[in-house]
Amino acid sequence: MTNQTRNKSDSDAVTLRQKAEKLLEKRGVETGLHYSKVQTQKLIHELEVHQIELELQNEELDHAKEQAEVASRKYTELYDFAPTGYFTLSKEGEIIELNLSGAKMLGKERSRLKNSMFGFFVSDDTKPIFNLFLRKVFTSKVKESCDVTLSTNKNTPIYVHLTGIVTEKGKLCLLTIVDITKRKQSEEERLKISEERYRSLYENAKIGFYRTTPEGNIILANKALVAMLGYASFDELAKVNVEQDGFETPNQRKVFLEKIEQTGEVENFESTWIRKDRTPVFVRESAQAIRDALGNTIYYDGTAEDISQLKYTQNELDWNIALLEAKTGFSTPNSLADAIVVVDSQGKRIFQNQRTAELLNFPRYIPDENDDEGELHWVANLTKNPEQFIERIVYLNSQPEETGRDVIEYKDGTILDRYTAPVVGKNAKYYGRLWIFRDITERKRAEELHRANEKRLREFNVLQGLLLPPNPIEQKLKLITNTVVRIMGADFARIWMIKPGDRCNTGCIHALVTEGPHVCRFREKCLHLMASSGSYTHINGQVHARVPFGCYKIGKIAAAEEAKFLTNNVTTDPRVHNNEWAKELGLVSFAGYRLVDVNGTPLGVLALFSKKAISEEDDSFLEGIAHSTSRVLHSSWVEVALRDSEEKYRALFETSLDGISLLDLNGKIVFANNQVVKLFGYNQRSEFIGLNGFGLIHPEDKPKMNLYFKEFMTTGVITNCEVRSVKKRWF
């Protein structure tokens, strides 16, 4: 209790004593009562007891008041020194109140920031985002959020996440600001690495990649395509319009456009392009139409493979040349990467180059014995569909005029492009058939990887959108695990969140462990299973519903003993707790990622088991999902902390023995607790709120109050303010 408060209490007691003595004298005269000595002593005793009771009550009241003052200071300090910036804004964006962290973010003293416009500190490029955010907060009456950049006196910008909600009366916005600069920088660095990785894949691919507009303008092209068309650089190639200069005949472009606009994609479309030196190049391309939200085509993304060699072989090879090459040991076919086989009109093999035995995996004895039947069945047995492989060869050998192209898949994953055409002499005589096999395994895998990554990115973008609305944390985490299972092909995925230990004394099996590496050492916190998708969807099992912090794979990842955990051999890896269980389920890989806030504080763990190996691309993508999950958990933690703080402040205000009110700069009362309402003689808070606070000051003390108010506007505080006020019944 302050000296001023004690002096005031002593003064009030003296005044009360004087009034009581006067009343006692008056009553004595009026009543004329006389007491015996015994009665007098008894009365004195009762009065002394009553006096002691009053003193005890007074001490309790003083003690309660002291506790309220301590609590008030405590929560004020909690508000002022919180790591998160707290602001109170008007509809116009004027700063009404802020804490020290908020002032630090804006780079000025708190007293100089009040009554300033918050928008002055928002960068020009994100100011429209902030203005829309502020309008939505006051119109929607629900919690809104956005990311903006603050421009302060510092050289580097500050990236922040804003969360705002209006007060009960809808006049003010309570704004929370979280510094996400480190997270943004981390995201930009991760994006840069990812871009460099895909750029390397794009630039070093053996086939051409391109992006063109429907009008024929070339937007992107990799080195392989630039070289294929004979240009020195992309800038030189970009000057060419494929609509006007890129095809030998306009009809080919027309057919391409009709197909891609009708189905959205084309596959293995063969056409003739023109090189810089005006010579033709035969191309097989696959492309996809990229459209905007209205369904309008923006551009075409595609791949182009030079098949000139195949075309030249198909168009120029005749029987006499093939026979000559076979007899003389013609060397050029042996230097090709393609397997070449020539058969006569009866289907009997008369020539094959060395690459044929290598590509088709012939045992050494088959080519030496010239066993066509054995060679055919050997290759057929390597394919996924032997009967179809043989039927196709028999059919085409019986059709002298038919050409064909298909894809053969081996059981070991090898993929071959098979092309065949009849060998016809200049006299139009049919001599036999030419077969060409090309290994396109890497190309197919690159295309599949490209398509898979595009699909993942689309799914990830959808997930990011679903995580924006203010839904319960359990619902958001379930969306994440569902997405991991769906787009990563995981057997099951789970998310644990670090929370206080709640089952240590109610049968948790981990709490019963007393020795060994898995003893629960941190009873104040553990990992709570919040979401599970895939083969296991329950979250209340005895073993995994709670995981000790620092124990097992999950706990060690959370405790930062391992930043992440990835293995593609869960059946033998000694770090996996139960190898036999993983073997029984046919699991191959496990990955776990630590979830942290912007300061690196652990928040939980994202983990998954899969029946296929996790590649570097998979790992990078999962790190991105883990980063988004960290944002979700951190936002949830901030929301809970803010809500708890608000509830504590509200409880403090409402239960305080002191009268507390809040006035705007015009003196209008905008908030008051029950104590101050009663103090001024009002029955309902609604009667009190909206009054002019200066109107409650005693007329004689209003000049003094004006001086106090000027001091407040200058320094931001009022000290030793003593004025008289008037109550409602005196009006």
Q: What is the pLDDT of residues 215-266, one digit of tens each?
A: 888 888 888 888 888 899 988 888 888 777 765 566 777 888 888 888 889 9
Q: Residue 16: is its pLDDT beyond 70?
A: no
Per cent of the chain over pLDDT 90 is: 13
Q: What is the average pLDDT across 94-120?
A: 89
Judge whether 243 lies within some domain: yes
pLDDT band at 317 (very low <50, low <70, confident <90, very high): low
Q: What is the pLDDT of residues 20-55, one digit of tens each?
A: 656 655 555 444 556 677 777 777 777 766 677 676
- pLDDT score recorded for residue 731: 40
Q: What is the average pLDDT across 104-126?
A: 89
Range with the lowest mean pLDDT among 193-207, 216-230, 340-354?
193-207
* Number of structural domains the chain divides into: 6
Whether residue 615 is found in the same domain as residue 483 = yes
Q: Residue 709: is its pLDDT beyond 70?
A: yes
Whether residue 383 is found in the same domain as residue 506 = no
Whether residue 21 is found in the same domain as residue 131 = no
Q: What is the pLDDT of residues 427-453, one digit of tens each?
A: 677 778 888 888 888 888 888 877 877
* Torsion 634-636-639-644 (CA) sign: negative
- pLDDT score recorded for residue 194: 64
- pLDDT score recorded for residue 247: 55
Q: Residue 419: is its pLDDT beyond 80?
A: yes
Judge whether 152 lies within some domain: yes
Judge whether 534 lies within some domain: yes
Judge whether 456 lies within some domain: no
DSSP 613: -
What whole-number distance in Å separates Cα of residue 344 and Cα of residue 379?
A: 19
The dihedral region occupied by 553, where left means phi > 0, alpha psi between -120 and 50, and beta the remainder, is alpha
Whether residue 70 is found in the same domain as residue 43 = yes
Q: What angle do CA 205, 208, 213 make, to 5 degrees?
A: 130
Whether residue 477 is found in the same domain as residue 585 = yes
Whether residue 573 is found in the same domain as residue 486 = yes
Q: Residue 562: is its pLDDT beyond 80?
A: no
Q: Residue 331: is its pLDDT beyond 50?
A: no
Closest CA to 532 of 473, 611, 606, 589: 606
DSSP 241: B
Residue type, 7: N
Query: Going by C-beta distance under 8 Å and a sequence separation of 6 or more, which residues neighbour residue 608?
Result: 484, 485, 488, 490, 491, 492, 493, 494, 534, 590, 591, 592, 622
Judge whether 428 lies within some domain: yes
pLDDT band at 326 (very low <50, low <70, confident <90, very high): very low
Select the more confidently predicted residue: 166 or 83. Answer: 166
Q: What is the average pLDDT across 635-652?
A: 71
pLDDT band at 166 (very low <50, low <70, confident <90, very high): very high
What tokens appear for 416 in the block?
């071959």
What whole-number distance in Å separates Cα of residue 308 and Cα of residue 313?
A: 8
- pLDDT score recorded for residue 129: 93
**Could you tell me the strand order of the sheet in which 430-439 lies?**
349-352, 339-344, 430-439, 415-424, 404-409
Structural domain boundaries, residue 205: 187-306
Judge whether 681 lies within some domain: yes
Q: Residue 502: is its pLDDT beyond 90?
A: no
Domain boundary residue among 591, 606, 639?
Answer: 639
Q: Residue 390: is its pLDDT beyond 70?
A: yes
Q: What is the average pLDDT across 271-281?
A: 83
Closest CA to 380 of 418, 353, 345, 421: 418
pLDDT band at 424 (very low <50, low <70, confident <90, very high): confident
- pLDDT score recorded for residue 33: 54
- pLDDT score recorded for residue 697: 83
Q: What is the average pLDDT across 411-433?
A: 81
Whether residue 115 is found in the same domain as residue 224 = no
Q: What is the average pLDDT across 672-687?
A: 84
- pLDDT score recorded for residue 200: 65
Element (H, E) at 237: helix 234-238
- pLDDT score recorded for residue 89: 92
Judge whether 117 lies within some domain: yes
Tell me the CATH number at 424. Answer: 3.30.450.20
> What does the DSSP assignment read for 467-506?
TSS---HHHHHHHHHHHHHHHH-EEEEEEEEEE----TTT
| Helix count and strand count (H, E) for the chain | 24, 23
- pLDDT score recorded for residue 295: 85
Q: Residue 613: is its pLDDT beyond 90?
A: yes
- pLDDT score recorded for residue 534: 92
- 589 forms beta bridges with 610
Whether residue 679 is found in the same domain as residue 699 = yes
Whether residue 498 is found in the same domain as residue 632 = yes
Q: Hey, is 215 helix, strand or coil?
A: coil
Residue type, 384: K
Closest CA to 342 of 330, 328, 329, 353: 353
Q: Residue 320: is its pLDDT beyond 60?
A: no
Q: Residue 531: is its pLDDT beyond 90?
A: yes
Give alpha helix (H) positions in 81-180: 100-106, 110-113, 127-140
The mean pLDDT value of the chain amounts to 80
Whether residue 264 is found in the same domain as residue 342 = no
Query: What does pTM read for this prediction?
Result: 0.41
Most confidently modeled range among 205-209, 416-420, 529-533, 640-644: 529-533
- pLDDT score recorded for residue 73: 63
pLDDT band at 365 (very low <50, low <70, confident <90, very high): low
Select the more confidently predicted residue: 535 or 636. Answer: 535
Select the more confidently predicted residue: 718 or 126. Answer: 126
What tokens appear for 437 in the block?
């096999």
Strand segments, DSSP code E, in 292-352 are: 297-306, 339-344, 349-352
3-state DSSP percent of the chain in helix, strand and coil, to 5:
45, 25, 30
pLDDT band at 369 (very low <50, low <70, confident <90, very high): low
- pLDDT score recorded for residue 641: 66
CA 259 to chain CA centroid, Å, is: 37
Whether residue 350 is found in the same domain as residue 256 = no
Q: What is the average pLDDT across 196-224?
A: 79
Tell me the CATH number at 568. Answer: 3.30.450.40
Whether residue 217 is found in the same domain as residue 330 = no
With beta carbons less than 8 A apart as the criterion, state whether 681 and 729 touch. Answer: yes
Q: Residue 155: is its pLDDT beyond 80?
A: no
Q: Residue 4: is its pLDDT beyond 70?
A: no
Judge whether 654 lies within some domain: no
Q: What is the average pLDDT across 660-685?
A: 83
Select the more confidently predicted residue: 7 or 648. Answer: 648
